[in-house]
Structure 1
C-alpha cells in the first residue's frame, strides 16, 4: 500500500484547501507538518505563509520582501520557513500518524534542508505522508514515478469530492 499521497494540479486548483479539509476530516491530533496559506491584499495575492498543523505561522514569500531569492514577483524567505516548516515536519515524523507537507513547490525547494527531508520521506516514509506538489516543479517526474507515491490530480471537476475520498483512503491506511 502506498504511503505517500500527493495532490497535484494547476495553481489555484484548490490543493491547499483540500489539505486543510483533509486535516479537519482525519483529525488535527493525528497530523503534523504544515500547510500553505495565501497572503491576500485588497485585490491580489501578496505572498504566502506556512502554517503548522499546531497553528504556528511564518511568512514564506512576499512581494515586498527584500530577499535576493526570487520566484516570480515574490521574495522568498528561507530562514523562517526552515525554522518552522522543516522543524514541524521532523517533529511529525517522530510523533504523528500523518505528516502534512503543503507544498513541495519551487519556493520550498530552494531550501536544501527541506529538499533533503522530502527526499528522505519519499524514499522511506515512516508513516503516511499527505502533501501537494505543483505540476511544474523540477522534481515532479522523479517523485511521480516513485513506487511509494500515489498521485491525485485535483481540478474543478473533483475538488469538492476528492477530500472525502482521500479521507476514506487515509482511514484505511492508518
Structure 2
C-alpha cells in the first residue's frame, strides 16, 4: 500500500500551462478507467480582459473564486492584487468535490493550491487532511513555483511528492512521463 501514497505535484511560472496539463492528465486517466475527482481553476475573460477566476469541479459544478474588485457589489475581506477573493462561493463548489469515494484507485485533482484558495480555512484543513502522513490518496496538484505558505512548502518538500516543473519547453511533452509514473501508483 505504501506505493499508493504518492503526490504528483506540478509547479511552474504563472500562465505556463499547469492547469492545461493537469486537465490533460486527468482526462487521460479517466479514459483509462481511473476514477478522478476534484477541481481546477480557470481564468474568466471578457473581451480578452481577465475579470477573475472560477473554480470548476470535474463533476461540472462552477463557482466564482475571485473577481476584479471593480466588478463586485461591495468590499470583500480578502484580496490578491486587484482581485477580491470570494471565499464562501469557492468553498461551496470546491469542498464537496474533494470528498473521496471509498474505492481504491481514485486520483484527486487539486488545481490550484495557492494564495487565493488558502484564504479558506476549511480548504486549508482539507488540504492538510489529504496530504497527511496517514493518507492513502494519489493526488495530482498544482502549486506556485515561488516559496509561499508553509503548508505548500511541506507539500513541495514531502518525501512522497514527485515534483515536476512545467515550462514552455516541456509542457506539451511532460504528460507522458507523469502518466507513466501515475500508472505505477494507481496500478492501471
Instruction: Give the alignment's TM-score, normalised by structure 2.
Output: 0.85
Shift of 1:165: 1.6
**Which of 2, 6, 24 pairs up with 1:3?**
6
Give the equivalent residue in structure 1 for 2:182.
170
Provide the residue aligned with 1:51 in structure 2: 56
Aligned position for 2:138: 128
* Residues 52 and 9 of structure 1: CA distance in aligned 2, closer, same or farther (over 3 Å): same
Q: Which residue of 2 aligns with 1:27?
A: 30
Distance change in 2, residues 1:117/1:48 (3 Å):
same
Deviation at 1:93, TM superposition (A): 5.5
Q: CA shift at 1:125, angstroms?
A: 2.7
Q: Aligned partners of 1:12, 1:170: CA distance in 2, in Å?
A: 24
Give ranges in structure 1 of 5+ residues lacking alignment: none
Counterpart CA distance in 2 for 1:68 and 1:127 is 33
Q: Is the 8 A contact 1:4 1:125 kept in 2?
A: no
RMSD, aligned CA: 1.7
CA distance in 2: counterparts of 1:115 and 1:103, whole angstroms: 12
Q: Work out whether residues 37 and 49 of structure 1, in 8 Å CA contact, stay in contact via their aligned partners in 2.
A: yes
Of the three residues 90, 94, 102, the one matched with 1:85 is 94
**Matching residue of 1:37:** 42
Rg larger in 1 or in 2? 2
Corresponding pairs, count: 173
Mind listing any 5+ residue stretches in structure 2 that lack a counterpart?
A: none
